Structure 1
Amino acid sequence: MLTKLLPCLSQRDWQSPVMEVPTDSPFTEEQTRLYFRDIVLGIEYLHYQKIVHRDIKPANVLLGDDGHVKIADFGVSNQFEGNDALLSSTAGTPAFMAPETLSDIHQSFSGKALDVWAMGVTVYCFVFGKCPFIDEYILVLHNKIRTKCVEFPESPEISEELKTLILKMLDKNPDTRITIPEIKLDPWVTQDGCDPLPLEEDHCSVVEVTEEEVQNSVKFVPSLSTVILVKAMLRKRSFSNPYECPRSRAERSMSAPSNLLM
């Protein structure tokens, strides 16, 4: 669910991050699947509202009292027009950044594809308790993300279906990287179609922001338009929606400490 950390927008109960990375106690594959399904639906809902998160990671995924996960920290999120966000600035947490954002060549890149990459790193963390690319030096880390192939530890053992999905999400080419609609149909996610996810039209609808919400909004929040939109999302969506309401801050998230994994 969309979790808001500013009390002026929401007082919903939420708990701590679903996982602290690194950890020696990763999730089982089935627990990972359940949490990941929530994340998929939530990101689909955000993209439907023309918002890209840009900082998906376990530290920003909170476990709710209902057993579902909720996403927090929208400090580097972006609204977009059209079908996708074309971005040119880097943002987010180093170990979760997509390779196209680290290129020496100045170029625009897909916001939706960035979220999918970060989801792939997050799922890897869920089952192995660590990121797929790790280094204490930022430039070396960037090089690994751009050039190194994903490697799977021998333990814990995961299914070939999950490995395949992770590799599709961590495709270094954003043009061929798996998309959210394709992830929703993935056999690992749906248990070979036995546990399908709801269709987009069944859980997504465009949220309109009223003039009253604009007038009553907090005027000093930098990403004001995103905050207003998310406030409207909270007001109009039921608690069953996989995201609830976000925190908005400046373009560079102040919640991402110097630690490359957090």
Structure 2
Amino acid sequence: LSPGHASMASLIVVTEHDATGSTSEEEMDVPGREGFGDGRKLHLSGRKLSLQERPQPARSPGHGDGANERFIYPSLPYSPVTSPHSSPRLPRRPTVESNRVSITGLQDCVQLNQYKLKDEIGKGSYGVVKLAYNEDDNTYYAMKVLSKKKLMRQAGFPRRPPPRGAKAASEGCLQPRGPIEQVYQEIAILKKLDHPNVVKLVEVLDDPSEDHLYMVFELVKQGPVMEIPTLKPLSEDQARFYFQDLIKGIEYLHYQKIIHRDIKPSNLLVGEDGHVKIADFGVSNEFKGADALLTNTVGTPAFMAPETLSETRKIFSGKALDVWAMGITLYCFVFGQCPFMDERILSLHNKIKTQTLEFPDQPEVTDFLKDLITRMLDKNPESRISVPEIKLHPWVTKNGAELLPTEDENCTLVEVTEEEVENSVKHIPSLATVILVKTMIRKRSFGNPFEGSKREERSLSSSGNLLPKRGSEDNLKCNDLPNVGEEELLS
């Protein structure tokens, strides 16, 4: 671990408590870099509430040798354009619910159950993401650790929330009564989602005494589709390839009665097969009926729909919000920037609500693409194009040459019950046991866990993307844990 993250890393390895969630700028190389394509450098996403994505060095538009050589399941002869659901389906592995944790002190690392905890690959104000190696299946995962106390504090909830199975409001959208309930709801949803274009939750552990939560996700190695702004946007063909994946993922989520609410390039991660996976369901909403009826404003400002910025705070359609964000994302794909931008938030809101959509002279794009973006960025949600209509648009289908799968082929309904939300996580032993083990381990090769100064807290807005960061060739090796302050362990 780098010196700047030494204290935080030791804390997370043992207590998984004082976690944060935005990303770091450091670099990481992973052994066996074959899975990373050409071993190129990877970037972490920007802040959730930034007006636009953070500027990063431009990346090559193509993640590999081209869209036509990427397959959802490389071992099977499926077309990269058609849905995997139109072919024999590989079953989803069920989410593991661990009810105990074993801490083992090795010579130069700490092991949590079957996971060897590696580098920190993301952090924010209430969660961190650690790279975790599973010895059982010889696979790397992304372990996200949430501090529930910080979640509550940041959301303005001074008291412990009601039981996680408490019934939510039934009109339109199911709104959890507190931030912890929202996490449990997110877990219950993620456990059941099974689609190649949605990131998968693998395992969940919970600490009852100190309210720490461990979520293990599949590691999406190639990172975001792109960073914006950039001077090297995607070609139309590459943008179409990624956008087709996004359409299938969003159609699946809407079919499951889920509104994502934060679609943007940094939440679209590219897997080893070159296909996009939708990540970060931290502000998502589940709904009943035909559509979500929403009143609150969440997400990334530059990707927010104009109806959410209305001073009257009227009810608006959830599906139309995702379509607007998809339109902004597609604009970013081909032009490398958001269509509406301003450093001042109120001016940005005004531009989103009133400014006419304009297209730069360069790069040149087809009229079909301009038509699709224009219809997606219709300021009137009632006349805005819908996902079923987007699927049939000539630009998406390449004038009928690349038809997308039907809804029946792409989707299978998943229902989440109140009981499943209640049982969405299992418990692991008390934090006091973990601290005791840590104290014993320090006598061998680790520092005293009750020494060290309190580090300055970072107040960031993202809970961390599930992707690796860049670094040296040695950073997947286990690292000695430096001293950790008592306040950091118990606060």
Q: What TM-score do the two structures reach when normalised by structure 1?
A: 0.81
The residue aligned with 1:131 is 338
CA deviation string 1:157-185 (max 9, x = no partner): 10000000000000000000000000000
Structure 1 pair 180/211, CA: closer, same or farther in 2 (3 Å)? closer
TM-superposed CA distance for 1:38, in Å, is: 0.3
Q: Where in structure 1 are there 5+ consecutive unaligned residues?
A: 221-252, 258-262
The residue aligned with 1:186 is 393
TM-superposed CA distance for 1:106, in Å, is: 2.2
TM-superposed CA distance for 1:217, in Å, is: 2.3
The residue aligned with 2:430 is none
The residue aligned with 1:2 is 198
Distance 1:6 1:135 in 2: 39
CA deviation string 1:57-90 (max 9, x = no partner): 0010101111101111101100000000000000
Distance 1:139 1:4 in 2: 36
Distance 1:47 1:2 in 2: 12
Q: What TM-score do the two structures reach when normalised by structure 2?
A: 0.44
Structure 1 pair 191/99, CA: closer, same or farther in 2 (3 Å)? same
Distance 2:202 2:301 in 1: 25
Give the number of aligned pairs: 225
CA deviation string 1:202-254 (max 9, x = no partner): 1211124589965652279xxxxxxxxxxxxxxxxxxxxxxxxxxxxxxxx93
The residue aligned with 1:69 is 276
**Given the alignment of the two structures, is residue 13 of structure 1 paired with residue 209 of structure 2, yes or no?**
no
Q: Where in structure 2 are there 5+ consecutive unaligned residues?
A: 1-196, 205-214, 428-459, 465-491
1:49 aligns with one of 256, 268, 271: 256
More strand by share: 2
More helix by share: 1
CA contact (8 A) 1:19 1:58 kept: yes
Distance 1:39 1:62 in 2: 10
Q: Which amino acid aligns with 2:408?
A: E
Between 81-90 and 7-16, the greater mean CA deviation after superposition: 7-16
- Over aligned residue pairs, what C-alpha RMSD do you find? 2.2
CA contact (8 A) 2:320 2:381 kept: yes
1:22 aligns with one of 226, 229, 233: 229
The residue aligned with 1:217 is 424
Q: Which is higher, the Rg of structure 1 or of structure 2?
A: 2
TM-superposed CA distance for 1:25, in Å, is: 1.2
CA deviation string 1:7-37 (max 9, x = no partner): 6355423031111111111100000000000
CA contact (8 A) 1:62 1:70 kept: yes
The residue aligned with 2:194 is none
CA contact (8 A) 2:202 2:218 kept: no
CA contact (8 A) 2:256 2:415 kept: no
Distance 1:215 1:172 in 2: 39
Between 138-147 and 10-19, the greater mean CA deviation after superposition: 10-19
Between 11-20 and 47-56, the greater mean CA deviation after superposition: 11-20
1:169 aligns with one of 360, 376, 386: 376
The residue aligned with 1:114 is 321
CA contact (8 A) 1:13 1:65 kept: no
The residue aligned with 1:142 is 349
The residue aligned with 2:364 is 157
CA deviation string 1:72-113 (max 9, x = no partner): 110110000000000000000000000000011120000000
Q: How much identity, in percent, do the aligned residues show?
A: 63
CA contact (8 A) 2:294 2:315 kept: yes
TM-superposed CA distance for 1:48, in Å, is: 0.2
Q: Which amino acid aligns with 1:164?
A: D
CA contact (8 A) 1:113 1:177 kept: yes
